[in-house]
């Protein structure tokens, strides 16, 4: 328990994915690749993709609704909704549309962008509001539709990314289940993974121009991101564990951003965490960016793998560059 006496519990999870699935074989009809290459280099076998009728708001709201139901509260109980996304329906923010869709009339809602670390950053942000006694019931959603921003001719990146949404409810609680965290950024390396706005001058009147341009598709240096993840993620988990006063031996589940099975395996190996404790569902869903951690968590909770009281080390990493870890126990009581 912290000095203010407000504990935090993670009491519900939910998720939503589009119905359409694209497998590796189908990808190999689009770019020069193979099921064998993608499976062996990434672990991914299929990914869910959203067509033009699916909005981020719809996916996120469905995930949020499921999390609220599991937590046993109503939308009107929510004080705050945080949407972690890099692919909003509206650049002014999409969380407000989710608030309206859920009927969460009392909640304030805003977007947060930290790419594939977004969900972990959102957990930490939500925790600050609860710790200080400002809010009691927070819905956080990680949702992305990266398929809209992928260069489908680039075999080095299009094999990875996919669409989905995941959510959790965090609540003020008598005993504290949110045990530690560490979050980091290094903007000097931002070029390794970008979804950048490229402005082009448009003259309004003589001598005055504005930069009217477009966001360009994702550009990634896979090798550098791989190297960064395998080095930084174990470090940041160790740091979060130190703040939680725990060691890797106390951890029941390692819940990493679902980027690449080889990254998951390498991080687990460095931390000497048994592979049976690694939560992985990227074979079926690919890399869903801010959604991947809560999507994998929700599946594991609903399968009965993750049980109340289990200690979880969650870590996200990606564009920015950003990375971070949280340590928490699942559910309200042990
Ligand atoms: O949320 C964070 C998002 N990003 C990541 O997590 C990315 C992390 N990085 C990775 O996951 C891996 O670097 C990749 C899966 C992207 C690539 O795997 P790799 O083992 O690092 O491959 P590579 O880039 O070193 O490429 C090896 C070879 C190259 O051919 P040459 O130059 O050796 O002849 C590539 O051209 O594999 C080739 N290659 C492919 N071959 C078949 C690259 N992509 C493909 C492909 N199919 N899809």
pLDDT at 199: 94
Q: pLDDT tier at 4 (50, 70, 90 boundaries)?
A: low
Question: Of 114, 97, 103, 93, which Cα lies nearest the Cα of 68?
Answer: 103
For the segment 253-279, the average pLDDT, to the nearest whole number, is 98
For the segment 75-85, the average pLDDT, to the nearest whole number, is 98
pLDDT mean across residues, the chain: 97
Q: Is 93 in the pocket of ligand 1 (CB under 6 A)?
A: no
pLDDT at 237: 98
What proportion of the chain, given as a percentage, has pLDDT over 70? 98
**CATH 3.40.47.10 in the chain, residues?**
7-177, 180-329
Q: Is 110 in the pocket of ligand 1 (CB under 6 A)?
A: no
Q: Hey, whose CA ends up nearest to atom 7 of ligand 1?
A: 222
For residue 31, how far is its CA from the centre of ligand 1 (angstroms)? 13
Q: pLDDT tier at 102 (50, 70, 90 boundaries)?
A: very high
Q: pLDDT tier at 186 (50, 70, 90 boundaries)?
A: very high
Q: pLDDT tier at 153 (50, 70, 90 boundaries)?
A: very high
For the segment 16-37, the average pLDDT, to the nearest whole number, is 97
pLDDT of residue 2 exceeding 70, the answer is no
Q: pLDDT tier at 3 (50, 70, 90 boundaries)?
A: low
d(CA 292, CA 313): 14
Helix, strand, or coil here: 216? coil
For the segment 135-148, the average pLDDT, to the nearest whole number, is 98
Q: Is 270 in the pocket of ligand 1 (CB under 6 A)?
A: no
Q: pLDDT tier at 13 (50, 70, 90 boundaries)?
A: very high
Is the backbone of residue 28 left (phi > 0), alpha (psi -120 to 50) or beta? alpha
Q: pLDDT tier at 277 (50, 70, 90 boundaries)?
A: very high
pLDDT at 331: 96
Q: pLDDT tier at 34 (50, 70, 90 boundaries)?
A: very high
Please say if 116 is a catalytic residue.
yes
User: DSSP letter string over 272-325?
Assistant: T--GGGB---HHHH-B-GGGHHHHHHHHHHHTT-S-TT-EEEEEEEETTTEEEE
For residue 126, how far is its CA from the centre of ligand 1 (angstroms)? 35
For residue 155, how far is its CA from the centre of ligand 1 (angstroms)? 8
pLDDT at 333: 73
Q: Does residue 321 have a cis peptide bond before it, meaning omega lies within 30 degrees of 0?
A: yes
Q: Hey, whose CA ends up nearest to atom 29 of ligand 1?
A: 156
d(CA 82, CA 75): 14
Of the CATH numbers 3.40.640.10, 3.20.20.150, 3.40.47.10, 3.40.50.11900, which one belongs to the domain with range 180-329?
3.40.47.10
What atom of ligand 1 comes closest to residue 292's alpha carbon?
A: 1
Q: Is 240 in the pocket of ligand 1 (CB under 6 A)?
A: no
What proportion of the chain, given as a percentage, has pLDDT over 90? 97
- Among the listed residues 257, 260, 281, 284, the single catalytic one is 257
Q: For 295-313, how does the pLDDT look when each residue is reduced to its tens digit (9 = 90+)?
A: 999 999 999 999 999 999 9
Question: Of 293, 143, 279, 161, which Cα lies nearest the Cα of 222?
Answer: 161
For the segment 122-127, the average pLDDT, to the nearest whole number, is 98
Question: Of 147, 71, 41, which Cα lies nearest the Cα of 308?
Answer: 71
For the segment 59-74, the average pLDDT, to the nearest whole number, is 98
pLDDT at 5: 64
Q: Hey, whose CA ends up nearest to atom 13 of ligand 1?
A: 222
Q: pLDDT tier at 179 (50, 70, 90 boundaries)?
A: very high
pLDDT of residue 132 exceeding 80, the answer is yes
At the top level of CATH, the class of 7-177 is alpha beta
């Amino acid at each position: 328990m912290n000095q203010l006496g407000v504990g935090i519990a993670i009491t519900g999870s939910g998720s939503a994915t589009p119905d359409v699935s694209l497998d590796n074989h189908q990808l190999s009809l689009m770019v020069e690749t193979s099921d064998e290459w993608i499976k062996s280099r990434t672990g991914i076998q299929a990914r869910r993709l959203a067509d033009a009728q699916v909005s981020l708001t719809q996916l996120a709201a469905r995930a949020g609704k499921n999390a609220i139901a599991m937590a046993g509260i109503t939308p009107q109980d929510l004080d705050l909704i945080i949407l972690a996304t890099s692919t909003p329906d509206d650049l002014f923010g999409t969380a407000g549309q989710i608030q309206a869709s859920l009927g969460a009339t009392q909640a304030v809602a805003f977007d947060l962008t930290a790419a594939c670390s977004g969900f972990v950053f959102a957990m930490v942000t939500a925790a600050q509001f609860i710790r200080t006694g400002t809010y009691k019931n927070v819905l956080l959603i990680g949702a992305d539709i990266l398929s809209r921003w992928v260069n489908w001719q680039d075999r080095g990146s299009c094999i990875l990314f996919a669409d989905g949404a995941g959510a959790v409810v965090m609540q003020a609680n008598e005993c504290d289940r949110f045990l530690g965290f560490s979050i980091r950024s290094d903007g000097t390396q931002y070029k390794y993974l970008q979804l950048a706005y490229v402005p082009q001058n448009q003259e309004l009147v003589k001598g005055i121009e504005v930069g009217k341009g477009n966001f360009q598709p994702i550009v990634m240096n896979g090798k550098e991101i791989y190297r960064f993840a395998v080095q930084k993620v174990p470090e940041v988990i160790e740091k979060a564990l130190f703040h939680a006063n725990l060691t890797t031996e106390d951890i029941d589940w390692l819940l990493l951003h679902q980027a690449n099975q080889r990254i998951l395996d390498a991080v687990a190996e460095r931390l000497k965490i048994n592979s049976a404790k690694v939560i992985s569902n990227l074979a079926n869903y690919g890399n869903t960016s801010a959604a991947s951690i809560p999507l994998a968590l929700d599946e594991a909770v609903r399968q009965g793998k993750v049980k109340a009281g289990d200690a979880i080390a969650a870590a996200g990493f990606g564009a920015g560059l950003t990375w971070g870890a949280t340590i928490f126990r699942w559910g309200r009581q042990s």
